[in-house]
Structure 1
Amino acid sequence: MTTQRWAIDIDRDRIAEASIVDAPETELPEGTIEVGIDLYAMTANNVTYAVFGKPLGLFGNDQGYWDFFAERDTPGRLPVWGFATVSRSNHPDVGVGMQYYGYYPMASHAVLHPGRVSANGFTDITPRRATLPIIYNQYQRVDALGDYRAQDHDYWPVFRPLFLTGWLIADQLEDEGDYAAQQILVASASSKTAIGLAHALKQRSGGPATVGLTSAGNVAYVESLGLYDRVVAYDDIAAMDASVPSAMVDMAGNPRVAAAVHNHFGDALKASIVVGKSHWDANDDAGAMAGPPRQMFFAPGRSEKRIGEWGPEGFRQKLEAAWLGFTDLAPRLLSIDKRQGAEAALAAYAETVAGKADAKTGLVIIP
């Protein structure tokens, strides 16, 4: 946790334009706390947050991801996942020194408003966040996490939120009978969400084959993961058997890849699920596409559905068991690249937005 106080402002319309700004200490209103951010991850998922920063109907209201940590008509503050320690407190039930895992701005410090405080953590009740998905507003005490292990610490912010998304996608596929597909095509197969999905699918017996679609340069790496039944380069999609009933899960939202799959498989493509938009600068107009309409996967909505059906404790137990099964693999799936300070944070953001991050590493920032 740094003593320097900074944040990174991002242009809401031109997400590649970002700058470091000073973030001086302010007076804490009653009931709030300040945390110093210890460590967070920078992944392609964060680019998706920036792309959907402005209201686009994703949350069913007029809010977007910029609304978590910035007021309207101010520069955006990018949400990131990580660990933070309470540095100041004006809340009777949250003490200085407590450490929490959760959703923070790309900054050195953050002010949160805890509500529903328990031994396990709290929910942020800052007014602008009240109508945003609750899964993003929950902060978990590290010492109360049933599936936290010290050796996994650096992999938590890199993989945990993306593993959750992949696990929920696998759950939806199973719930929908895999859309009658004989194979699941996972586009951007080297991405961390795709890796989580592939791992979850591999735990099933008798399910469809899992095919990783990736760039030619990433084929060897994706094959080395041992999570896919087959790996196909994007340029080789046209050589696949177009008669096999298939479903596609598109992690990056690349319209060229989507069009190649749709137009090759046509009616044999039973479902096309879009998860992310890290290819934010690609032209969305790929022309007419055969096959089914594209549908957006929204992890908070799926998690709320399952929490309602399984109960919070049932959901937690299933997720923890799945996560612990995955974390044993994490060190062999990628290495951790730690960087420190505001300049490093800005450079890591620029690198990720430009699509230059190495799929074989997990970028971790220590503010």
Structure 2
Amino acid sequence: MNWAIDISRDDIAEATLVAEPATPLAPGQIRVHLDSYAMTANNITYAVFGKPAGLFGNDQGYWDFFAERGTPGRLPVWGFATVAESAAEGIAPGDRFYGYYPMAAEAVLTAGTIGPGGFTDVTPRRTTLPPIYNQYQRVEALDGYRAADHDYWPVFRPLFLTGWLIADQFEDEDDYGADQILIASASSKTAIGLGFSLAQRQGPRPQTIGLTSKANVAGLDAQRIYDRVIAYDDILTLNAATPAALVDMAGNGAVTRAVHSHFGDALKASIIVGKSHWDADAGEAALPGPERQGFFAPGRSQKRIADWGGAAFGRKIADAWLGFMDVAPRLTRIDKRSGGDAALGAYKEMLSGAADPKAGIVVEP
């Protein structure tokens, strides 16, 4: 069955598996079958910001990639797909692409700027959304792709890229004057990408401190991603006079308040990246210390592409990614699920916070 998962735009806990009838292709369109995609906490952030939230302009959100206004949302996921049918010159059945897809068994995309490396989706509702989400790359043209790493691409690649870009921003901003970087939800895959990227920096850098639940401290510390790992309950043991910066991966207001209250003016930056703790207090109330700032990976990517050029940006990411792939298998095991019911279950598991952070969920439709 060609299935899809509909999600309420008003309540992301309302998700339903539905049959998706095939429609004829218009000129320039292709139909792809999803081979595999990842379900991570990042996808929950997409759902939280599915409705307009100012990220793409005040009238757009993540639901606009794959669903028309007035219809249920379709959650964006990262993965691989094979072309099943094509009405686009330059793309043939059997071609394989890595990119951004709906949580479904199949997808119809409108291909433009087709070339040896891939194509751009030019569906009208997507043309004003960040370009990085609309690029589809041929598998054989992926910088840094190795077949042995295939399952880790959808699980880690977009999250590692975000972590790498945050690390780049810290270096670009002279670490905001901080001597230590506190990384909340340190067992998350984006946090691990950030910790790994900071550790690769040449020369002096701030100490990295992973913040996590007490049950995760020993296991996370053993991975040697961070200089230190401490429990959330132990934040008050840190030296409050040491200049610090906070990177919050999940939008946990209690942790944010604890850090801001403890460090006060010694907290030099407070950066929020995700909102996987979607049903928790996000800590919007007034806090001591700096104003919180959001981090938006597509914006940072576009800045660096403008600074360095697209080819140089791609080479830097590929080199960093290959270094990370040398250690990723010991950090995360791949947990494969098959079919629509399993896909719906994986979404609900991630939404509830019950998913094992040491597992990378890969759905094979």
- TM-score normalised by length of structure 2: 0.99
1:42 aligns with one of 34, 39, 42: 39
Aligned to 2:97: 100
In the alignment, is residue 358 of structure 1 matched against residue 321 of structure 2? no
- Structural mapping, 1:217-232, within 5 Å: 217-232=215-230
Aligned to 2:2: 5
Q: Which secondary structure does the structure 1 equivalent of 2:6 belong to?
A: strand
Aligned residue type for 1:363? I
In the alignment, is residue 214 of structure 1 matched against residue 233 of structure 2? no
Deviation at 1:364, TM superposition (A): 0.5
Deviation at 1:213, TM superposition (A): 0.4
In the alignment, is residue 90 of structure 1 matched against residue 87 of structure 2? yes
Deviation at 1:285, TM superposition (A): 4.7
Contact 2:118–2:137 (CA under 8 A) maintained in structure 1: yes
Aligned to 1:342: 340
Any idea what the Cα deviations from partners look like across 1:2-52, whole Å, max 9, x if unmatched? xx2000000111101101000111100111000000000000000000000
**C-alpha distance in 1 between matches for 2:206 and 2:344:** 41
Stretch moving more, 277-286 or 341-350:
277-286
**C-alpha distance in 2 between matches for 1:115 and 1:306:** 24
Deviation at 1:60, TM superposition (A): 2.5
Cα distance change of structure 1 residues 211 and 318 upon mapping to structure 2, 3 Å threshold: same
Aligned to 2:61: 64
- Structural mapping, 1:191-202, within 5 Å: 191-202=188-199
**C-alpha distance in 1 between matches for 2:53 and 2:286:** 23
- Structural mapping, 1:267-286, within 5 Å: 267-285=265-283
In the alignment, is residue 136 of structure 1 matched against residue 138 of structure 2? no
Deviation at 1:284, TM superposition (A): 3.1
2:117 aligns with one of 120, 125, 144: 120
Aligned residue type for 1:238? L
Aligned to 1:266: 264
Deviation at 1:287, TM superposition (A): 4.2
Aligned residue type for 2:11? R
Aligned to 1:16: 13
**C-alpha distance in 2 between matches for 1:13 and 1:220:** 39
In the alignment, is residue 304 of structure 1 matched against residue 302 of structure 2? yes
| Identity percentage of aligned residues | 66
Deviation at 1:61, TM superposition (A): 4.0
Q: Which secondary structure does the structure 2 equivalent of 1:113 belong to?
A: strand
Aligned to 1:243: 241
Contact 2:160–2:189 (CA under 8 A) maintained in structure 1: yes
Aligned residue type for 1:201? L
Any idea what the Cα deviations from partners look like across 1:129-149, whole Å, max 9, x if unmatched? 000000000000001113110
Q: Which secondary structure does the structure 2 equivalent of 1:14 belong to?
A: coil
Any idea what the Cα deviations from partners look like across 1:173-232, whole Å, max 9, x if unmatched? 000000000000000000000000001000013100000000111112211211100011
Deviation at 1:283, TM superposition (A): 2.2
Aligned residue type for 2:278? W
In the alignment, is residue 203 of structure 1 matched against residue 208 of structure 2? no
Any idea what the Cα deviations from partners look like across 1:326-366, whole Å, max 9, x if unmatched? 01111000100000000000000000000111011100100
**C-alpha distance in 2 between matches for 1:23 and 1:45:** 25
**RMSD of aligned residue pairs (Cα, Å):** 0.8
Aligned residues: 364
Contact 1:256–1:286 (CA under 8 A) maintained in structure 2: no
**C-alpha distance in 2 between matches for 1:224 and 1:26:** 51
- Structural mapping, 1:26-41, within 5 Å: 26-41=23-38
Q: Please list every run of 5 or more consecutive structure 2 residues that lacks an aligned counterpart in the other structure.
A: none
**C-alpha distance in 2 between matches for 1:215 and 1:93:** 50
Deviation at 1:97, TM superposition (A): 0.3
Any idea what the Cα deviations from partners look like across 1:138-161, whole Å, max 9, x if unmatched? 000001113110100000000000
**C-alpha distance in 2 between matches for 1:336 and 1:220:** 21
Q: Which secondary structure does the structure 1 equivalent of 2:17 belong to?
A: strand
Q: Which secondary structure does the structure 2 equivalent of 1:116 belong to?
A: strand
Aligned residue type for 1:323? W
Q: Which secondary structure does the structure 2 equivalent of 1:66 belong to?
A: helix
Q: Which secondary structure does the structure 2 equivalent of 1:212 belong to?
A: strand
**C-alpha distance in 1 between matches for 2:10 and 2:289:** 32
- TM-score normalised by length of structure 1: 0.98
Aligned to 1:293: 291
Contact 1:259–1:286 (CA under 8 A) maintained in structure 2: no
Contact 1:87–1:96 (CA under 8 A) maintained in structure 2: yes
Stretch moving more, 204-213 or 131-140:
204-213
Aligned to 2:319: 321
Aligned to 2:162: 165
Aligned to 2:171: 174
**C-alpha distance in 1 between matches for 2:95 and 2:216:** 41
1:331 aligns with one of 329, 332, 339: 329
Q: Which secondary structure does the structure 2 equivalent of 1:74 belong to?
A: coil
